[in-house]
Amino acid sequence: MDALEESDVVVIGSGMGGLAAARTIAQFGRRRVLVLEQHYTPGGMTHEFTRDGRYRFGTGLHYMSADAGPFLDFMTDGRVQLNPLPDDYDVLHFPDFDFTVPAGRDRLRDRLTQCFPDSTGEIDRFFTTIRRGMTGLAARNVLAAMPAGIRRLGTPVVERLYPSTYRSLAEQIRLSFRDPELRAVLAARWGLYGIPPRSSAFGYHAAVPLTFFMNGTAHPVGGPGEIGRIILETLQRYGVEVRPRQRVQRVTVDGGRATGVDVVDTASGRRYHVEAGTVVSATGVRNTYALIGRENELAELPPEPSAAMLFLGMKRSPAEFGLHGENHWFMPDLDGGDGTLYVSFPSLNNPAARTHTVEVLELVDPAIVDRWRTMPADQRPDDYRRFKEETTERLLDRLERQWPGFRAAIEFTELATPLTFENYQHSVRGSFYGLAATPQRLRSSRAGCRTPVKNLIVAGQDAWGSGVVGALAGGLMAANAVLSPRQTGRMWRTVQSAIPVRNPQTPWSGYLRVAAIEELTPTVRRIRLAPLDGATMPFTFVAGQYLKIELPVAVEPIERSYSICSGPGQTGFVEIAVKHEPGGLGSGFLHTEPETGQALRVSGPHGDFTWQPGDDTGTLLLIGGGVGMTPLMSVLAAAADAGYDGRIVLLAAHRSETERLFGTELAALQERLPGLRRLTFVSGRNGRISAGTLRPFVTTTTRAHLCGPAPMMQDLIGHLIDLGMPRDRIHTEAFTSGRSRQTRREKAQAIARTAEEAGIAAFRIDVQDSGPGFPCRPGQTVLDAANLADVKLPQSCGEGSCGTCRVLVRAGEHETDSRGMFSTAELAEGWRLACQTLPTGDLTIALDK
C-alpha cells in the first residue's frame, strides 16, 4: 500500500443505501464517515447519462411512490419535488385483454370488482392478505438487523405468524382467486422487484406494487439525478467525504472483526489502506462476501436476474401516440413469465425535460451474455454487436405493434445489456435488484444487514428491498446496526418527524414552472415563474433581489442571474425580464427554448440591492438603463403596495423608443404613488443622464439605486459622489452579458498558459490586517481562490452583478472587469470585484470595512 489513512466509518458504494447510512451515522453518531465509490459519478442508480448532447436518461429509477414517505423526505430535507403520473398509472397488456391500474386502494378495489364482479369477496379478503404479507416482510427485515441470537429465535416465529409473506407469489395468488385473468392482473408488475411469480416471495409483491405504489406514483422533477444531487449536498453539512473512482479490493478482518479496507484509486493508480472501526458495504451481499473471501457461503441463495434496457431518443413527443405518461407492461401470457416488457415515458412525467425519451426494460437471465463476459468491452466481437442489434429490433417491433408509426419517431437508440450493468454498477453478473426476492432469501441468515464479521454491515436493497426507497430503508437499517440505542432512537424520531422547515435566511432551491411569456420589446421578454402545483411561492423576497436560474443549454447546464421585476407582495408567481444579448447562451436560451409548463431549476432570492418601506425618509432616486429597469420595477411595486407617499424619482434611459420598457406598468404605478416623478431619456432624442440632471435630486439624505450598463454606471457613480452623495447611500447592480463571461474565461486561460510557461504553480494573495494569505492558481479569480482556501470574503452572485464582493487591491498586477460598480476615482484607488479579478502575480488586498 502507498499510504495509510484513518476514518471512523468507511461506506463502500454511494447508492441510496450507502448515502443513507453515511448521513445517519455521521449525523446521529457524530462519526467521521468516508464514502468510497467505484464509479466516476456518485449516486448509484439515480445516476443519469446524456447522449447526442441532448437526450438524458436515467439508469435505474423509472417511477416511485407518489408518497415516498419519511425516508426520502429525511434524506433530502423535503427538497425533492415529485411530479405525479396520471391517475391510471400502469397499463397491463395481456394477450386477450388490458387492465389499467388506478391510484388509490378504493379505486383499485372498485375497478377490480367492476371487471370481476363474481370475485368481490375474494378481492376484499385479498386486501387483508396484502396487509399481512407486507407486515410480515417488515417484521422479518427488522429482525434481520438484530444480533444473531435474536435472529435465530425470532425468524421461525415471524414465518409462523405471517405464512403468506414466505409463500411464492404464484401460490398465494392461486389460493386467493379462482379466475385466471384476475390472478394474472394481481400477479403482474413483478418486474418492480425482478422475480417472476413462480419463484418470488409474496411478501415482496405485497410490499412493492401492492403497497408502496397503491396510492399512485410519481417521477422526480429534473430526473432521478436530482435525488442523488440533493442528498450529496446534505452530506456536506455532516462532514461526510465522498470519493469517486475508488475501487475497494478487500475488507481487512482481524479476529473476526472488520478493521478497514484496501483501496485503489482508479484515476491515479494510487493504492492505500483505510483503517476504520466500522465498514458499511452498500455494494450488495454477494460483493460484500467476496470482499472478505467468503462468497461460497451464499450458495443457498438463488441467482439474480439482470436486465436489457433500451434507451430511445425521440424526434416527436410520445403524446402524439395517445400516451400521457402512464407506464405500459406487456405480458406474454397469463402466467407473467419470461418476456415481460416494461415501457416508461420519463419525459412526459418530468416537466424539466427538454427532449423526449422512452425507456424499455426486459428482465433477462445474465447467462445470455456469458460468452462475452470475460472480454474487454472494446474487444468484443461482431456477434455481440449483432446480439444487441437483434435485441433492439425485437423490442422495437413490440412497440411498433402497439403504437403504429412509433419506430419512425425514434432518432436515437442505445441498448444496455447485463454486461453494461456489471461494468457501471459493479454488480454481480449485472444484477439489477440485488438479491433475488425469493422465499429462500427471506429464510437466509445471510440476507440482511448483519454479516458474520463484526462491524461489517450491509446497506442498500439487500438490507431491505428493491427500489430507491427500499435502498434508503436498507441504509437506515445499517445505521440502526451501527449506532447506540440512544442514537438509534434519536435517528428514528427524526426520520419520522415532520419535514424540516427551511431557514428563510438561506436561498430556496428547486423547480418553478414557466407560467407565461410576454414579449416587451424586440429584444426583451418577461417570463413568469410559478410553483409547480400552482399554489403559493415557496419563498418570499425583498424588492431588488434576483434569482439564479440553471439553464440546460448543453450537456452541462449553465447558471445565470436575473433580477425580479414583480413586486414582493405577489405570492402566486415571480417575474423576470431578460434581454437577448447577441451570442449570450443564457439569454439566447430564454428567448428561444422555454415553453409554458416547462420547469426550470431556480435558487433565490439573492442580493442586497434591496429597498423596503421604512429604509429611508429622504428622496429615493432610481436610475435604470435599458433592462436595468427590472429590479427598480420591483421596488416601485413594493412602494405602491405599502402605500408609500414619499418622494421617488425615476430616471429611465433607453437606446431607442422601441426599447422603452414597462410603459403600461409605470403609468399604473404613477396612479398609486403620488410622490413619483418620472424622467425618460432616449439616446439621440434628449441626451444622457448628466450631473446637471442629477443635481436637483441629490441631498445628503437621498438614497440612490443604479442598475444598467457598466459605462453608464461608472459615470453616474462619479457624478453622484461629486455632487456630495455619501458612497454608502449609492446602491448598485449591473447586468452582465455572455460576452463578458467569455472574455474573462479567455483572459484566465491566457494567464494560466503564461504562468505555466514561467513555471509558476500559484500566486499568493495577502489580506491586509486579516490574518494569513492564501494561494491562487493562475487563471482563478480572487473570489474562487479565497473560497477554495476557506477564506471568507463577502459574496453573493459570483457574476459581477451585485457588487457584494468588493475588495481594495493594495499592490500587485491583475486583470479585472469593474462591471461599472465603481467610479473612475474608486477604480484609481484600487477598488475591484473579487469575482472579476484575475491575479497575474502576487496581490495584497484589503476588505471593505
**CATH number listed for the domain at residues 3-50+221-299+445-496:** 3.50.50.60
Smallest CA-to-CA distance from 636 within 624, 654, 618 is with: 624
Torsional sign, CA 20, 23, 28, 31:
positive
Q: Which residue has the cell 478487500?
A: 250
Q: Which residue has the cell 430507491?
A: 468
Torsion, Cα 761 767 772 774, to 10 degrees, reads -20
> What is the DSSP track for 779-840?
T--HHHHHHHTT-----SSSSSSS-TTEEEEEE--EE---TT-S-HHHHHHTEEEGGG-EES
Under 8 Å CB-to-CB from 446, ≥6 apart: which residues?
285, 289, 297, 298, 300, 301
Task: For residues 154 and 776, give the distance between their C-alpha atoms in angstroms, rounded to a whole number.
Answer: 61
Task: For residues 286 and 431, give the distance between their C-alpha atoms in angstroms, rounded to a whole number.
Answer: 10
**CATH number listed for the domain at residues 620-734:** 3.40.50.80
**Grid cell listed for 508:** 430556496
Task: For residues 579 and 590, give the distance between their C-alpha atoms in angstroms, rounded to a whole number.
Answer: 9
Under 8 Å CB-to-CB from 304, ≥6 apart: which residues?
194, 366, 428, 429, 431, 432, 433, 434, 435, 436
Domain spans of the chain?
Answer: 3-50+221-299+445-496, 103-215, 305-432, 508-606, 620-734, 738-847
For the domain 738-847, what is the CATH superfamily, name and number?
Beta-grasp domain (3.10.20.30)
Task: For residues 828 and 826, give the distance between their C-alpha atoms in angstroms, rounded to a whole number.
Answer: 5
**Grid cell listed for 24:** 445517519
The pLDDT, as a whole number, for residue 678 is 94
The pLDDT, as a whole number, for residue 804 is 81
Q: If you ran DSSP here, which 8-state letter would residue 707 be given?
A: E
- Consecutive 10-residue runs of the chain (849 residues): their mean pLDDT? 89 95 96 94 87 88 82 90 95 96 96 97 97 95 88 91 96 97 96 94 95 92 93 93 95 96 94 97 95 93 93 96 97 84 96 95 93 90 94 96 97 94 84 91 93 96 90 94 95 85 80 96 96 91 94 80 95 96 87 94 92 87 94 96 94 91 95 94 81 91 91 89 90 66 72 88 88 88 89 78 83 83 84 91 86
Q: What are phi and psi of 379, to 5 degrees?
A: -120, 10
Amino acid at 271: R
Torsional sign, CA 680, 684, 690, 696:
negative
CA 304 from chain center: how many Å?
30
The pLDDT, as a whole number, for residue 819 is 65
Proportion of the chain in helix, strand, coil states, percent, rounded to 5: 40, 25, 35
**CATH number listed for the domain at residues 508-606:** 2.40.30.10
The pLDDT, as a whole number, for residue 769 is 77
Q: How many residues are recorded in the chain?
A: 849
Q: What are phi and psi of 523, to 5 degrees?
A: -120, -5
* C-alpha distance across the termini of the chain, in Å: 50
DSSP reduced 3-state for 166: helix
Spell out the SS3 assignment of 185-234: HHHCCHHHCCCCCCCCEHHHHHHHHHHHCCCCEEEECCCCHHHHHHHHHH
**Grid cell listed for 97:** 385483454
Q: Mark out the alpha helices in 335-484 (DSSP H runs).
A: 346-349, 382-402, 418-425, 439-443, 467-482
DSSP reduced 3-state for 578: strand
Question: Do 635 and 543 touch, CB atoms closer than 8 A?
Answer: yes
For β-strands 599-606 and 546-551, DSSP reports them as antiparallel
Question: Do 456 and 251 touch, CB atoms closer than 8 A?
Answer: yes
Task: For residues 501 and 470, give the distance between their C-alpha atoms in angstroms, rounded to a whole number.
Answer: 25
The pLDDT, as a whole number, for residue 741 is 57
Question: Do 845 and 767 touch, CB atoms closer than 8 A?
Answer: yes
Task: For residues 402 and 91, give the distance between their C-alpha atoms in angstroms, rounded to a whole number.
Answer: 12
